[in-house]
Amino acid sequence: MPKNPHPLTPGPAPTAPPLLDEIDRSLVVALVADGRISNAALAREVGIAESTCVGRVRALRERGVITGVHAALDPTKMGRPLQAVIAIGLSGHDRAQVEAFGDEMAALPGVLSAFNISGADDFLVHVSAESPDQLRDFVLDNVSSRPGVSHVQTSLIFRAHTGRQSL
């Protein structure tokens, strides 16, 4: 193969495209506000064609930006008016044990979220309960009596301020 008589000179290094452009951001904001919005209404709100909207939302799903559409429940209206955050310290930090602990906590009834965190505590577990007695029993039966747990501190949530969950 002959050499190219006009070789290309090196240019600037390629840059990664932004994760989300303005249309993607507008789609995400609208979907966070109403995950059940129809494609037609979403396209109108964002100002794009319906076919473009379908493709953009599909691409956001395929890229992992949109991971699902979920129903947001009010624990109080579900008969669980008491919420708390439980700070948990573990005595060991073996990767498999830490991951198993998080998975087991997240699978327990009443657990809304379980976070493996840095700092003095290893986990924060957000729970809801029907009563103070049920919360106490949850902590005693499922957290403080568990092997490997060295510290437990339960803090009641008086009021939650929910974020918009979009960029």
Q: Is residue 8 part of a domain?
A: no
Token output for 142:
């499922």
Q: Is residue 4 part of a domain?
A: no
Computed from CA positions of residues 118, 119, 120, 121, in that sequence, does the dihedral angle turn out positive or negative?
A: negative
pLDDT at 82 over 70: yes
Cβ atoms of residues 86 and 94 within 8 Å: no
Q: Is residue 34 part of a domain?
A: yes
> Domain check: are 141 and 105 in the same one?
yes
Cα 76-74-116 angle, rounded to 5 deg: 100
Give 47-80 pLDDT, tens digit per residue.
999 999 999 999 999 999 999 988 888 999 999 9
pLDDT at 28 over 90: yes
> Domain check: are 106 and 140 in the same one?
yes
Q: What is the CATH number of the domain that holds 102?
A: 3.30.70.920
Task: Quote the pLDDT of residue 152.
Answer: 98
> Domain check: are 48 and 89 in the same one?
no
pLDDT over 90 percentage in the chain: 77
Full residue range of the structural domain in which residue 103 is found: 82-157
Give 85-119 pLDDT, tens digit per residue.
999 999 988 899 999 999 999 999 999 999 999 99
Count of domains observed in the chain: 2
Give 133-161 pLDDT, tens digit per residue.
999 999 999 999 999 999 999 999 999 88
Cβ atoms of residues 56 and 23 within 8 Å: yes
Cβ atoms of residues 29 and 166 within 8 Å: yes
